[in-house]
Amino acid sequence: MKKYIVEFIGTFFLVLAVCMAGSKAGDMAPVAIGATLMVMIFAGGHVSGGHYNPAVTLAVFIRGKCNATDLIFYWVAQIVGGVIAGLLAANYFNYFAVATSPEVPIKALVAELIGTFALAYVVLNVATATKNAGNSFYGLAIGFTVTAMAYTLGPVSMGAFNPAVAIGAGAFGLFAWGTIWVYLVGCLLGGALAGVVYKFVIKPDEA
C-alpha cells in the first residue's frame, strides 16, 4: 500500500506542475516540470521506484521488475493522482486553460512515442539496472530527460510523455479529450518499446 500512496503523491505533484506551471511559466515550464519530477523521484524512488507514469510502469513490468498486481495498482494510483491535481488546479486554484489538440495527431503520436521511449529507457538504465544500483544521479537524469524531451518534442505533441499527465491535463482543460488517444497510444507504445529494447540490449547478467 505504501508504494501506491507514493505513486499517487509523486504523480499528483508532477501533474500539478504541468497544469499550473505549464499555463503560467511559458518557456520555463519544462524546467519546472522536470525539476518537480526529479525531486519527487528522489523523495519516493526508494519506496515505489518513482515511476509516476503508467508508461514507465509498463516498461518496468516488461523488464521484469514489476508484477502484474503492481502494474494495475500503480496505474490506478497514477491516474487518480493526475486527475485530482488537474481538477484542483482548475477548480480550487482557478487556473485557466484552453483545450488544445496537436496540429497533426499522427506526428504527435510519433513524438510522444519517441519522448516516452527516451524517458522509459533512461529510467530502466539508471533506476533498475543492477550495475547502477545505489547511484545518486537517477532522479536528476530522469528529470532532465523530461525537460529535454519537452523542449525537443513539446512543440509537436504538447509534450506529455505520460498517460497520467495527459488525463490529468484533460481534467484541467488543457488537453482536448478528442485527442487524448494520441497520448495513451503513443506513450504506452513508447514505454513498451523501451522495455523490449532494454531486455534485448542488456545481457541477463547485467540486468
25: pLDDT strictly greater than 70: no
31: pLDDT strictly greater than 90: yes
Identify which has the larger pLDDT, 171 or 100.
171
Between CA 81 and CA 87 the distance in angstroms is 10
Give me 127's grid cell. Answer: 533506476
Q: What is the pLDDT of residue 136?
A: 79
Render pLDDT for 102-136 as a digit per residue (tens, 0 to 9): 889 999 999 999 999 999 999 999 999 888 877 87
Instruction: For the chain, report the end-to-end CA distance as a whole number of angstroms.
Output: 27
Residue type, 46: H
Between CA 9 and CA 43 the distance in angstroms is 10
26: pLDDT strictly greater than 80: no
Between CA 158 and CA 53 the distance in angstroms is 16
Q: What is the dihedral of CA 157, 142, 84, 105, to 10 degrees?
A: 10
Strands of 53-148 (E only): list them.
none
Of 76, 40, 56, 205, nearest to 120 by C-alpha is 56
Q: What is the pLDDT of residue 203?
A: 63
pLDDT band, residue 16 (cuts 50/70/90): very high
Mean pLDDT, range 72-83, rounded to an integer: 98
Q: What is the pLDDT of residue 139?
A: 92
Residues 53 and 36 sit within 8 Å (Cβ to Cβ):
no
Mean pLDDT, range 170-174, rounded to an integer: 94
Give the Å distances, CA to CA, from 47 to 43, 53, 156: 9, 15, 34
Residues 143 and 41 sit within 8 Å (Cβ to Cβ):
yes
What is the pTM (predicted TM-score) of this model? 0.94
Q: Which CATH superfamily is domain 2-206 in?
A: Glycerol uptake facilitator protein. (1.20.1080.10)
Q: What is the pLDDT of residue 97?
A: 80
